Amino acid sequence: MRIIIVGCGRMGAGLALTLTQRGHDVTVIDRDPTAFAVLGERFSGRIITGHGFDREVLRHAGITRADGLAAVTSSDETNVVTARAARQFFHVPRVVARLYDPRKAEIYRRLGVLTISTTEWGVHRITELLSYSWFEPIVSLGSSVDIVDVETSPALVGRSLASLTVPGEVHPVAVSRGGRCFLPTPETRLQAGDLVHIAVLATSTGRLKALLGV
């Protein structure tokens, strides 16, 4: 995929290096030419000095052929203007803007701009890590969905995964058993030693807790 990253701070640089290592064609834009030093010799993509919201800079970066754009500068305003230009003017299929202010994030979500609020995500994530002592969260998908690992207790042995499902709120997605992981069906019954991987809404942890008998 051809990806444009606007902003070469810690997040932008980390994103650029990760995407490059995965084989994507990455172009990084930053108004400060010294910012690119953080990319180091491992980065094999392109770098362009300029403002990410400048349409000519975006054209030079190849936005008319881009599959995705991430606006991750330190300015909410810059990120939103860049994201909206990429989405509405250049019709880039996938556009994400990083926003610090959660209130702005909600506004721009309503306008069709995908946003990541690092402040909001951090608050939810720390809350989850402090609160979820009865299972282990392994991945957070945004600020509202977690993938958690649940060890099969004696009370769960023999129960079907259908009994641990709440449509739209709690969904077992995989089971690790005997050294291998597989995708279960609702009829799959738990065995001693199983590790169940469950997707759960942050607002539905109480439901999951009740289903587990915690």
Q: 136: which residues sit within 8 A by CB, 6+ positions away?
A: 148, 149
Query: For the purposes of burial, counting CB atoms within 10 Å of the CB of 14, is it exposed (0-12), middle (13-18) or buried (19 or more)?
Result: middle
β-pairing, 25-30 vs 2-6, is parallel
pLDDT, residue 124, reads: 64
Average pLDDT over residues 189-195: 92
Structure tokens at 137: 């969260």
pLDDT, residue 128, reads: 56
Q: Which residue has the higher pLDDT, 202 or 198?
A: 198
Q: What confidence tens digit (pLDDT) does each residue in 69-127 have?
A: 999 999 988 999 999 899 889 999 999 998 888 777 777 777 777 888 777 667 666 66
pLDDT, residue 61, reads: 94
List the 68-71 sheet strands across, edge first: 46-49, 25-30, 2-6, 68-71, 94-99, 114-117
The whole model's pTM is what? 0.62
pLDDT band at 189 (very low <50, low <70, confident <90, very high): very high
pLDDT, residue 159, reads: 93
Q: What confidence tens digit (pLDDT) does each residue in 125-151 have?
A: 666 556 545 566 677 776 678 888 888
Query: For the purposes of burial, counting CB atoms within 10 Å of the CB of 8, is it exposed (0-12), middle (13-18) or buried (19 or more)?
Result: buried
Which of 155, 190, 158 is closest to 172 using CA atoms? 190
Q: What confidence tens digit (pLDDT) does each residue in 21-64 have?
A: 889 999 999 999 999 999 988 899 999 999 999 999 999 999 99
Structure tokens at 47: 């770098």
Identity at 151, one-letter amino acid code:
E
Q: Which residue has the higher pLDDT, 68 or 205?
A: 68
β-pairing, 114-117 vs 94-99, is parallel
pLDDT, residue 70, reads: 94
Check: CB of residue 173 under 8 Å from CB of residue 198: yes
**How long, in residues, is the chain?**
214
What is the C-alpha separation between 199 and 185, in angstroms, rounded? 15
What is the C-alpha separation between 29 and 203, in angstroms, rounded? 37
Rounded CA Rg of the chain: 21
DSSP letter (8 states) at residue 24: -
pLDDT, residue 102, reads: 76
